[in-house]
A and B are shown apart, each in its own frame.
Chain A
Amino acid sequence: MRLGSPQTSIWVQRMPEPTGADDKRIAIEARGIVKAFGQGPSALRALDNVSVSIRENEFFTLLGPSGCGKTTLLRLIAGFEYPTEGAILLHGDDIAGLPPFKRPINTVFQSYALFPHLTVWENVAFGLQMLGKPKQEIEARVAVMLKLVHMEELAQRRTDQISGGQAQRVALARALAPSPKVLLLDEPLSALDYKLRKEMQIELKRMQNETGITFVFVTHDQEEALTMSDRIAVMSKGKVLQVGSPWDIYDKPADRFVADFIGETNFLKASVVSIDNGVARVKLASGTEIAATIAEGFQPRDNVTVVVRPEHARAVQQGGQLSGSVENVVYFGTDTHIHIKLDGGELFTVRQQNSRTQSCGFKVGDRAGIEIAPDAAQVLRD
């Protein structure tokens, strides 16, 4: 955590780019974490056997609905809470017993938690002062940080005299100033309005790139998670359901919850007819059989759910694997959503891009076929 002169090595040195994804070094590892609040059988398991490995220099996102345990996991990593079971490792060392002030990990709090009795400058300098850095170094570093978040002019303001967006920036500068190994961000953008949020998403991503610090970012907004993250852990009810790149999570959801939580999806009830080398033939409610990719562990005659993303299907006048009648056509500018009632009774949404010259060609009540792209249908456990 040594700081150099402000012109040259302000930032922690970036790790050399690894060759393969798997030999990246692990920054934070949570191993079999259980966090129970309360005692005995009525205890609430906020985290239930959570294991994740967060790599160095990674923008890692914890994504899940409110109350699924994201903040609790962050607080365990920061050291404000101690796990009921399991271990937390920082670069391979167990830090479960270290108090927060001994962990080279800083937090951007959901409420920002700026010190109200200190100025912007003093807030940003706080961590460096506590580390006992020399005065000149602190001044240089704070200047750089304030510049990074465009707050140089307001350095002497009290923190109750700045806007929410500015407070957000100060909180970020304050947490980054001591060059932590890992930065924890608890829904830092949720209090900002839409436009500012979009701007800050780009800013955050830029800062993570420039600093090379591992970011652990918490959000319940799946779009935010998809656009910002290197990898995402999808959480629900204290468990991690899937960890993967945005592409993995979106395209190969591990289960129904993930498929439903990330983006829009069509769910179709089906039963497995036959399985051949990762591809199954499944029979839908209408009696139609289609092909779908399938994971290990399924048997013929299993009742399953088939998922298809709306943009992986096309409405066609003739042919297609499925057919039904158009219920609704919704125009979205860049694309059009066509809601089709399948002959089996289920509702299916198709999303197709608009072209400048012609409309989608369907209107309510029309018969339509649905053509599913190869490999786009996926079998999930019911």
Chain B
Amino acid sequence: MAKRHFDIKAQPGFAFLAILTFAVLYLPIATLVVYAFNASDSVSIWGGFSLKWFVEAWNNSAVQDAAWRSLVIAFFAAAIATSAATMAAIATTRTEPYRGLGFKYAFINQPLMVPEIVTAVALLIVFSRLKVWTGYSGLGYLILAHTAFCIPFAYLPIRARLESMDLTLERAAADLYATPWMTFRRVTLPLLRPGIIAGFMLAFVISLDDVVITEFVKSGGQDTLPTYMLGQIRRTVTPEVNAIATAFLALSVVLVTAFFFINRQKT
């Protein structure tokens, strides 16, 4: 059938390129997932289907410990980052434009621009001093570090939402005797909620996923799931790592899908 319109899908080699791209993207992940269900001890030789590595990982107290720590850090970092990002987004959108506003955007988004390794080394130096001076070496440092790099991720969806919001609504609230605080609580915040939830979830996933900064900042015995896996891989590799990665992947997919749907919601 001769098509009269240009259609990229009809170009020769299109299908081949598409399949190649998908293969490069997904084949390694697919392999990882498949070998998570391997009955043998190898990550490359198939020994039949089994859930034993999931059971193993689930019962491994080091994994439990790291997973719990990951979730705690991600929760607090995302919560603090989202609050800070909400305030920052309101401060940068509900104002007349002024000189220096662009600089402020850059400042808030700094973690996106500075290479992670630079921040990691800088934090390592500062925190190691602090640990000595204060004697405190708990999870607070990791939460603080994660909060910092989560802020831009929480900020972006919240700011986008605020910018697309009709300013007249806030004016209408003020017109109807709502003080600025009540306007925020009764109009701005409810309309902003999808943006805030999306920002929180994005920050949560970003925190869960972090390796570099965590690796530098953590004290002894403060492994998160990613740094634990990194440590495991350096030693013997068993499909247990695949099982952890697979569970991790499932969680991320769920969160990102939810993020997508919440972000699409109109009000």
Contacts and interface: CB of A to CB of B under 8 A. Distances in A.
Contact of B171 (A80, A102, A105, A174): A80
Interface in B74-111: none
A101 B178 contact: yes
Contacts of B180: 101
User: Which 3 pairs, one residue from A and one from B, show the smallest C-beta to C-beta distance?
Assistant: A127-B176, A130-B177, A113-B172
A298 interface: no
B175 A107 contact: yes
B166 A111 contact: yes
A78 B175 contact: yes
Nearest to B172: A113
A330 interface: no
Nearest to A109: B168
A100 B174 CA distance: 6
Contact of A100 (B168, B175, B266): B175
Interface in A93-139: 99-102, 105-107, 109, 111, 113-117, 126-127, 130-131
18 contacts: A79-B174, A80-B174, A100-B171, A100-B175, A101-B179, A106-B175, A107-B175, A109-B168, A109-B171, A113-B168, A113-B171, A114-B172, A126-B178, A130-B179, A160-B267, A174-B176, A175-B176, A178-B176
Contacts of B166: 111, 113
B251 interface: no
A111 B180 CA distance: 21
Interface of A: 78-80, 99-102, 105-107, 109, 111, 113-117, 126-127, 130-131, 160, 174-175, 178
A348 to B, nearest CB: 47
A126 B173 contact: yes
A153 B22 CA distance: 54
Given A100-B171, A111-B166, A111-B168, A117 B177 contact: no
Contact of B177 (A80, A101, A160): A101
A372 B182 CA distance: 63
B96 to A, nearest CB: 11
Interface of B: 166, 168-169, 171-180, 182-183, 186-187, 190-191, 266-267
A102 B176 CA distance: 9
A130 B191 contact: no
Contacts of B183: 101
Nearest to B174: A100
Contacts of A79: 174
A99 B179 CA distance: 9
A106 B174 CA distance: 10
A131 B177 contact: yes
B172 A115 contact: yes
A101 B174 CA distance: 5
A107 B182 contact: no
Contacts of B191: 116-117
Contacts of A99: 174
Residue of A102, A113, A175 with most chain B CB atoms under a 10 A cut-off: A113
Contact of A115 (B174, B182, B187): B187
A115 B171 CA distance: 11
Contacts of A101: 174-180, 183
A160 B186 CA distance: 18
Contact of A117 (B172, B174, B190): B190
Nearest to A99: B174
Residue from the set B174, B175, B179 with the largest chain A CB neighbour count within 10 Å? B175
Given A115-B172, A117-B191, 11 more contacts: A79-B174, A100-B175, A101-B175, A106-B176, A113-B166, A113-B168, A114-B172, A126-B173, A127-B177, A130-B178, A178-B176
Contacts of A175: 175-176
Given A113-B166, A116-B191, A130-B182, A107 B172 contact: yes
B219 to A, nearest CB: 45
Nearest to B191: A117
B206 to A, nearest CB: 28
B177 A109 contact: no
A57 B219 CA distance: 74
A102 B102 CA distance: 34
Nearest to B193: A117
A189 B86 CA distance: 37
A43 B177 CA distance: 32
A109 B174 contact: no
Contacts of A114: 172
Most chain A CB within a 10 A radius of its CB, from B176, B179, B267: B176
Given A101-B179, A130-B182, A113 B174 contact: no
A111 B183 CA distance: 19
A151 B165 CA distance: 27
A178 B173 CA distance: 13
B175 A116 contact: no
B167 to A, nearest CB: 9
A272 to B, nearest CB: 51
A168 to B, nearest CB: 14
A117 B267 contact: yes
A203 to B, nearest CB: 21
Contacts of B173: 115, 126, 130
Contacts of B179: 101, 130
